[in-house]
Structure 1
Amino acid sequence: MNPSFAADLMERARDKGPVTIGLVGAGQMGTDLIVQIALMQGIRIGAVAVRSRPQNAISAALSAGHRPDELVEVANASAIDRAIETGRIAITTDLEALAAAGRIEVIIDATGHPESGAIVAEAAIRHGKHIVMLNVEADITIGRHFKAEAEKAGVIYTGAAGDEPAAALELVCFARALGMTVVAAGKGKNNALNFDAVPDDYVAEATARDMNPRVLVEFVDGSKTMVEMVALANATGLEPDKPGLHGPRASKEELAEVLIPVSHGGVLSKRGCVDYTIGKGVAPGVFCVVEPNHQRVLERMTDLHVGKGPFFTLHRPYHLTSLETPLTAARAVLYGTADLQPLDHPVAETAAVAKRDLAPGTVLGRIGEYDYRGWSMRWADARRERLLPLGLAERARVTKPIRKGELLSHDNCAVDDSLTIVRLRRQLDLADQRFLKADAA
């Protein structure tokens, strides 16, 4: 963290006004963002775009302490600009208007929906806006496309601080900067793990936690963990060691004895993997298991009570999800930097696996519902088997019988060609095919 960051935000506000954010989505994460940004100096919400319920955004803004007269519903970009110029927050159902508004500097996608994320990012970059994706599902599917498009447009495409991939990346970069070998990196799983979870069984818990049952199930059935670990893999080059990851019941103290190579008594086939644990003391944090490359360093880390060695666990005991995300937006504007970006060529993929038997003709629902869940694996293996990326599964039609536990693929499902995310992923796949042919030659 830049020690002058807070001072830089205040200086920016004094000289040019606060960094002005356009937010898309006013669900749980969007509401958190509206509240958090209201508490910060040097940064503000300029406009909020919602698909169909402006009252959700209005309620979120009121809960953050904004007065009713500070909020105005608008229908076009010029009206958004006028609202911002008079110190108000514009509420709109027109995403294109938000993206086109000249006073908006950076857009945060807080929809958590793959197709929505694709549409938001495409509009943001087309209108020359930085884009922060609090939407890992979209990022792992087509993030590389938007990274390249943003570079052409001279803007920043970035994942969000506060999500586990960005938090774990901090530890990975720290370890690599110190010349240590990264053996494994990942997260502690926050919710109970139940691969068979469906929304009907989690209505009471979701209501108590002010969540949508489908969103809660995306966490419980493992999909979110698989997505997050693929995002970390594709930002670092670390790979899933096996399909579905190991997910051991390793406590914080045990990580450096478990997520290490088999040759040293652990479960990994090699160094350099992503994984998660359901053991105690890790969640809601992230970790990085490292190996010092000199005896003197090993002795010092032991002396400093980091662990017993020869492997050590670096642990960040928290991630603040959407509460940290405004920092990413501000850094994109102030410094032109990204907190999380995919590499040019992926190493991991989140495929979709059936949660129940699926008959031909079935049109698949959303992540966290009844039909499928996420499954992490190596990108090359997923590509060879023509597996269906998780972010393309919604609205796909089943073309052959699929048994529970079977992976969805382009051979047993037909994707919805009308979706933006399908179109953009096809472009990526074609580019990857050209790269693979050139590499083989």
Structure 2
Amino acid sequence: MNLYTLLGQRASEGRPIRAGLIGAGKFGSMILSQARFIDGLHIVGVADLNVSRAKESLARVGWDAAAYAAPSFGEAMDTGATFVTEDAMALTQHEGIEIVIDATGHPLAGVRHALSAIENGKHMVMVNVEADVLCGPWLAAKAKANGVLYSMAYGDQPALICELVDWVRSCGFELVAAGKGMKYVPDYRYSTPDTVWDHFGWSKEEVAAGDFNPKMYNSFVDGTKSAIEMAAVANATGLSCPEDGLGFYPCGTHDLARVFRPASDGGRLPKGGVAEVAASEELDGRQVHNDIRWGVWATFRAPCEYTRDCFRQYGLKIDDSGWYGSSWRPFHIIGLEAAISVLSVCLRGEPTGCSKEYRGDAVAIAKADLQAGSMLDGEGGYAVVADALPASTSAKINALPIGLAHHVKLKNHVGKDQIVTFDDVEVTDDLDIVKIRKEMQSMVAD
């Protein structure tokens, strides 16, 4: 609880934290919105394939044009302004930048940006959970070997879940499950970019006025983003992914301790120790009472009778037995909070969540019958959805990760609801990422 004090000390010494941001979409815009209000944090560079869009984002969130008019990284360093460029790799290599934030949402690009940053001695904050679940354990090991830190992004749900998990364990409670809330019913699994806005209930005018990507938002609806995030949580916390994929059990905050306990004790979980999702809609579409759609949660068990009695005496939300309790945070505001990761890494030397081992994977599953010769269109698209499975299962069946299910051709017919495997596709590009994935096989946790 002293990040602000530590940052003030560095700022008073004329040593601001100098960061580079890759990706000026929704998450990146939210980071930029807050960065101008944080004394001691200098965004030296913003890299985006569309420089005009990046500058439009800066203007939209309130930056003065002069603040992002630096013509080079060097000029930005000297003046305190920001250089906007399309060259992300140059940003990861510039000697004056201390920490790089990837907010592209593109899994392959994110892995490459992280690797370049790490090899050039930069700390890495990976907003890009798609990249993290694809190669995060490998990147974290690479960062450690290079004497820098690799971190999840605070404000996004995986990092906030890691914080709750750390609290549970540090208090000596037995962690049972942890996860996030999500608007979901099983039929959403087959949603496409054409139907996504119907599920959000937004008007065409609202969508047109915002910076919303239909494929990205469809990945929220169809469960892909949840699969990616829960696999990342498993890799960071030591929790498991469910053997048969995510359950998406409808549940409100008042019932977390009852629903997310093992079935042997009256709950919905086949076993404890898993990452899961609390759906905010009942199967018939009704809103769950006290839903936690935007938040994160953890359930835990008292280790002894005395602790169980204290749970009840001090107002903790507990199940009917009193043994199980729950804690939650009802919101996450993504990029508005991401500076916490930058400050924690640079001032404390501590990541806000980090993929330590390869325990979970987000695998591609056919949304419809897919014919040989057709192309997969990746996360949030028309062809595939992701589910979270144990990494040991994914490795055994040679499952194709959702992060590699972009712009690849099918060699075989894959039936609806079947897992796509590496044997089913022609991988001709992205062989560098495939090589990393093969090296990760040695990191599969039991």
TM bucket by the smaller chain? over 0.9
Show the 5 A alignment for 1:31-430: 31-51=29-49, 53-72=50-69, 74=71, 79-190=72-183, 194-202=188-196, 204=204, 206-207=207-208, 210-279=211-280, 280=288, 281-308=291-318, 309-344=322-357, 346-429=358-441
Please say if residues 3 and 347 of structure 2, whose CA atoms lie closer than 8 Å, have aligned partners that are also in contact: no
Aligned 8 A contact 2:25 2:211 in 1: no
1:297 Cα deviation (Å)? 1.0
Aligned-pair CA distance for 1:206: 4.2
- State, as a whole percentage, how many aligned pairs show the same letter: 32
Query: SS of the counterpart of 2:389?
Result: strand
Task: Quote the offset at 1:411 in angstroms.
Answer: 2.1
Q: Which amino acid aligns with 2:19?
A: I
Conserved? CA contact 1:84–1:90, under 8 Å: no
SS of 1:376's equivalent in the other structure is strand
In the alignment, the residues of structure 2 paired with residue 166 and residue 14 of structure 1 have an alpha-carbon distance, to the nearest angstrom, of 29
CA deviations on 1:211-236 (whole Å, 9 max, x unpaired) are 11111101001000111111111111
State the shift of 1:376 in Å.
0.8
Return the offset for 1:16: 3.1
Cα distance, 1:170 vs structure 2? 1.1
Q: Which runs of 5+ in 2 are unaligned?
A: 198-203, 281-287
Paired position in structure 1 for 2:201:
none
**Distance change (3 Å), C-alpha of 1:192 and 1:416:** farther
Post-superposition offset of 1:71: 2.1
**Alignment partners' CA distance in 1, 2:87 and 2:211:** 26
TM-score, normalized by length of structure 2?
Answer: 0.91
Partner of 2:284: none
Q: What do the CA deviations read for 1:104-156 (whole angstroms, capped 9, x no partner)?
A: 11100000110110121011112111110001111011111111111121111
- Identify the range of structure 1 (239-248 vs 312-321) with the bigger mean alpha-carbon deviation: 239-248
**1:86–1:191 Cα change, 3 Å:** farther
Q: CA deviation at 1:191?
A: 6.3
Whichever residue aligns with residue 270 of structure 2, its letter is S
Distance 1:269 1:192, change over 3 A: closer
Task: Return the alpha-carbon distance in structure 2 between the equivalents of residues 236 and 359 of structure 1.
Answer: 38
Extract unaligned runs of 5+ from structure 1.
none
Task: Indicate the SS of the match to 2:194.
Answer: helix
Task: Compute the displacement of 1:333 (Å).
Answer: 1.4
Q: Contact 1:227/1:350 (CA < 8 Å) preserved in 2?
A: yes
Tell me the distance in 2 between the aligned counterparts of 1:44 and 1:56: 21
Deviates further, 195-204 or 290-299 = 195-204
Q: Structure 2 counterpart of 1:276, which letter?
A: V
- Aligned residue pair count: 426
Residues 342 and 418 (structure 1), Cα distance of their counterparts in 2 relative to 1, 3 Å cut: closer
> SS where residue 240 of structure 1 aligns?
coil
* Structure 1 residue 10 corresponds to structure 2 residue 22: no
Aligned amino acid, residue 319 of structure 1: H
Deviation at 1:63, TM superposition (A): 2.7
Q: Distance in 2 between matches of 1:4 and 1:237?
A: 28
SS at match of 2:175: strand
* SS of equivalent residue, structure 2 residue 376: coil
CA offsets, 1:332-352, max 9 Å, x none?
1112211111123x2211111
Deviates more, 1:219-228 or 1:88-97: 88-97
SS in 2 for 1:215: helix
Deviations 1:251-284 (A, max 9, x none): 1111211111111111222221111111432121
Q: Distance between the aligned counterparts of 1:253 and 1:70, measured in 2?
A: 47
Give the Cα–Cα distance (whole angstroms) in 2 for the partners of residues 134 and 124 of structure 1: 14
RMSD (Å), alpha carbons: 1.9
Q: 1:320 to 1:419 in 2, by over 3 A?
A: farther
The range that moved more, 375-384 or 183-192, is: 183-192
1:369-413 Cα shifts (integer Å, max 9, x gaps): 111011111111111111111111112221110111111012212
2-side partners of 1:395 and 1:202: how far apart? 21
Q: CA deviation at 1:199?
A: 0.7
